Every structure is written in C-alpha cells, then in structure tokens.
Structure 1
Amino acid sequence: MDTVADIQLITVPAGRVTLSDRRTQRSWTVTLAPYRIAASVVTQDLYAQVTGERPAAAQGGRLPVEGVSWLDAVRFCDALSVRAGLTPAYRVRPGAEGVESAEDVTWDSGADGYRLPTEAEWEHACRAGTTGARYGELDEIAWYRGNSRERMHEVGGREPNGWGLYDTLGNVWEWCWDVYDAEVYGSYRVLRGGGWFDEHWSCRASVRRRSHPTFRIDDTGFRVARSAL
C-alpha cells in the first residue's frame, strides 16, 4: 500500500505480452520488466483529494473518476507524485504554457513517480497469466451493458483477476500512455478495458479503442502505475 495516497499497488512480474489490432490485423510482442500498477482505477474521492476537482458526471466517492482527458490524467499523476514526495514521471516541454497538448509531454522513464501504464503493461496486468479473451466469466468480473443497468458502479465490486486487479474489464475504459496510430490518428491515445455501456465483445483483454488526448468522456477513467526501480 502506498500510504500517502492510500493506493494499493500490485507488483507485476516481468513477462512478454502479444498485442493485436483488429483494424490493421497487426500483432506485436513486447517484453516487460517488473512494474507496479494500482489494484483499482482512480476514484472520485482520490482525484478530488489530489486536485480539488470532481469532474465526473455521476457523482460518488468510490465511483471511478470519469470525464477526465488523457492530459488530465497526466496532470493528476504528477500532482500525486509531488504529494507523495516522488519524482514526477512527466515533464512539460520548456516554454509550453501549461500542458496544452500531448506533444508538450515527455515521460522520464527513470523517475519513481506515478504514471499511466503503457498498453502492454495494461494488457499484461489484465491477463494475469491467462491467455483467453478474459480472465474469468464476464458477469463475475466486469460491469458491462449486460449487467450494469447502464450506469457505473463502485470500484472493487466484481471479482479480481489472479493478480488482484479489479475492473480491468468493464466499468470504465482506461487511458494508457501510448499513441494509438500516429500515421492515421495523430496524437490519439490508447484506451483499454471496455466500459459500463459496452457490449460483451468490447470487454476483452485485447480490445483497443482510441480518443484524442483532450477529450473527456463519461465512460473513461484511468489507473496509475509506477516503475519498479
């Protein structure tokens, strides 16, 4: 437990994960060093504690924060790092007036602070050693259109995966660090996991979605990670 932020971080072992993109029919394998990732997505209470803001459309302290952009998530990670006495993972390009675009943000991979997971880290953690579409029966592990009553639910209300992570599938989509496809979509960033309004086929470990880093959507949140230094 990271006591300053009251976040439970799960240590994820090194490994290899093969990612795939249905649109391009491309697949690629990534080798990962050990890292740590939050057991749950960031809640509205934690987001408010760090930023003083509650941007979510559906209010509730233990609900996932949503309506946050990729840039909002980056700002939160750095603010949380400062609060915890850690070195922020992200840096703003010198001369930029605040964080106005994804191009202004660089990742200091040597920093010990909080950050967004890469999509390879996200999928490796989501799968928790499994190889199928999901790490368990969908109704037991995820809030999705078939059982959510078309609304979000508090974090941790479904069964965790084998490594102790909750809601990696369903409830809210999660921002990752990575650019989706720079040649086609420019600075659009990767979203993973499926959400409360999605059909079952979107709540799979391999599914990729994209959004502009400034967009705020009512089914999209994020979880934090830290490098295992």
Structure 2
Amino acid sequence: MEMEFVSIPAGEFLMGSHKSDKEKDKDETPQHKVIIKNGFSMQKTEVTQGQWVEIMGSNPSYFKECGKDCPVESVSWNDVQEFIRRLNKKTGKNYRLPTEAEWEYAARAGSMTRYPCGDDAGCLDAIAWYGSNSGGTPQPVGKKLPNAWGLYDMIGNVWEWCQDWYGDKYYKKSSSTDPKGPETGSYRVIRGGGWHYSAWLCRSSNRNSNDPSYVGNFLGFRLVLPQVISEGK
C-alpha cells in the first residue's frame, strides 16, 4: 500500500484566530504561540478509499462511486483507531492521528493568514474542494494545489479527525510546547472544512468536534508518524 508522507519541520507558530477576524468563534481564541518541538511526517493526502480497503477489507464510504482515489469517509474516530491498529501491526510502524496543534501547524505551513492561501476566501478555489466548487461530493485527493509544505487537501474535501479531545476553553490554559488537548472529554477534534461547507469553516484556525462514534459522509482523516521519514516512503 503506497502512502506518501512529507517531512514537517520543528518550529513555532501562532495558533488560533487573530482578534481582528470577524468570523472567528470563541473557541479559536486567544491566539497563542505553540512550539512544535520535534519534526514529524504527515501524509500528503487524506487516507483514500483504496488504502482503507487494503487494510480493512471493505469500504464504508457513502460516496463509493467517487472511486479508490477519493478520501474514505463515513468512518468514526473509533473506526480510525482500529485502522491504525491494523496498519501498525502490518507495517511495524507507529502511525497515529495528528494532534490538533500539529494539524493546524501543518495546514498553515508558515502562513499567518485566515486561509493558507491568503485572507480572501477567493483563493480557496485553487487549494480546496468546498461548498462553492465541489459539485456536492468529495473529489479525488491531490487534484488541487498543495500548501507550501506539499500537503494536499488540508483544507476542504473532507473534515479530518484529530487525536485530541475537544475543549472549548482549552486555548486559555494549553501548554505552549506540543499541546495534546484536554485529558478527557466527550468529543474529538475535527479540522479543515469539507466538500459541502462554507468558506469561513475552511479557515486554518476553525475548530469543530464530534462524538468519537459518529459517522458522517463528510468526515475522514490523514495520518502522521512522529519521526521524520524520507519523502515518498
């Protein structure tokens, strides 16, 4: 099974929304510095239907007709954990979901604007499938432009599960170094916006969440490895 990854460098960034963003939600503030102490590797695209079938043996996706190169969807956070368990057993590696901080750091790819491509939602058409251009369905991965770090579809196509529990006031008390979310919770973080959502939900700082058992045809994921690996491996 071919799963391509890119190396994400260690560094720091401002996580959350600037106070001047009129579309921000309260849970996106305060904007705060986050340090990603160690580099890691992130999957270039969302996990595809073909990749899921190879590990799990069946395709849960609502949009099966979209094809094997489309993102797998209709998978819960719990389903994803089973996929990761089987994948790690097969490969001997330690794949996992990104933390919320890792996800936003990678999505921004050094940008400080509302979207990875700029402050104007008009730039989204070049990088993302969302409500205005998707045609009402997910699309094959990797067809839009990547961000500055070579990651495709971080914004739009399907929302992506993150590892963290969600906390609406978490930013006010989170660690500045490699934050990993609240210790407990009822919902898991999802990020990135999706194929039938508005542009403002595709902002890099936008936060959302869902029950870890929830299944939706707008919701998928991508993987990370905590160590840096060579591109394409």
Q: Give the structure-1-normalised TM-score.
A: 0.82
Tell me the residue number matched to 2:198: 199
1:188 partner amino acid: Y
Alpha-carbon displacement from aligned partner over 1:83-108 (angstroms, at most 9, x marks no partner): 1122xxxxxxxxxxxxxxxxxxxxxx
Does residue 159 of the first structure (1) align with residue 145 of the second (2)?
yes
Query: What is the Cα deviation at residue 183 of structure 1?
Result: 8.3
Does residue 6 of the first structure (1) align with residue 2 of the second (2)?
yes
**Runs of 4+ displaced beyond 2 Å:** 17-30, 182-187
Does residue 23 of the first structure (1) align with residue 17 of the second (2)?
no
Does residue 58 of the first structure (1) align with residue 39 of the second (2)?
no
Contact 1:17 1:123 in 2 (8 A): no
Work out the CA distance in 2 between the residues paired with 1:148 and 1:30. Answer: 33
Tell me the residue number matched to 1:177: 163
Q: Give the structure-2-normalised TM-score.
A: 0.81
Tell me the residue number matched to 1:134: 115
Aligned length: 199
Query: What is the Cα deviation at residue 30 of structure 1?
Result: 2.2
Query: What is the Cα deviation at residue 182 of structure 1?
Result: 7.8
Tell me the residue number matched to 2:105: 124
Higher strand residue share:
1
Does residue 72 of the first structure (1) align with residue 79 of the second (2)?
yes
Q: Taking CA–CA contacts closer than 8 Å with sequence separation of 6 or more, which of the two structures ends up with the larger relative contact order? A: 2
Work out the CA distance in 2 between the residues paired with 1:18 and 1:73. Answer: 29
Query: What is the Cα deviation at residue 18 of structure 1?
Result: 2.7
Contact 2:138 2:158 in 1 (8 A): yes
Contact 1:182 1:188 in 2 (8 A): no
Q: Which runs of 5+ in 1 are unaligned?
A: 87-112
Q: Which runs of 5+ in 2 are unaligned?
A: 18-24, 118-122, 171-183, 229-233
Contact 1:193 1:207 in 2 (8 A): yes
Contact 1:152 1:196 in 2 (8 A): yes
Contact 2:15 2:105 in 1 (8 A): no
